[in-house]
Amino acid sequence: MLVAIILWGAWGILERMSIDSLGFAGNAGIYVIVSTPIYLAVASRGLRESGSWDRAGIREAIPSLFLFSIAGITIFLAIGLGPIAIVVPLTTGYPIVAILVRRFWMDERLTFPQKFAIGLAMVGAFLAAL
Handedness of CA 13, 15, 21, 24 (dihedral sign): negative
Per residue in 101-110, pLDDT (tens digit) is 777 777 777 7
Q: What is the mean pLDDT of residues 77-102?
A: 77
- The answer, yes or no, to whether residue 69 has pLDDT greater than 80, is yes
What confidence tier does 79 reach under pLDDT thresholds 50, 70, 90?
A: confident
The Cα 21–Cα 27 span in angstroms is 9
Task: Give me the pLDDT at residue 129, please.
Answer: 66
53: left (phi over 0), alpha (psi -120 to 50) or beta: beta
Task: Give me the pLDDT at residue 10, please.
Answer: 85
Q: Is the pTM of this model over 0.85?
A: no
2-6, 46-50, 59-63, 77-81: the lowest-pLDDT one? 46-50
The Cα 81–Cα 54 span in angstroms is 41
Domain definitions of the chain by residue range:
2-83, 93-130
What DSSP state is assigned to residue 82?
A: S
Per residue in 7-60, pLDDT (tens digit) is 877 888 888 888 889 988 888 888 889 988 988 888 777 666 665 667 777 788
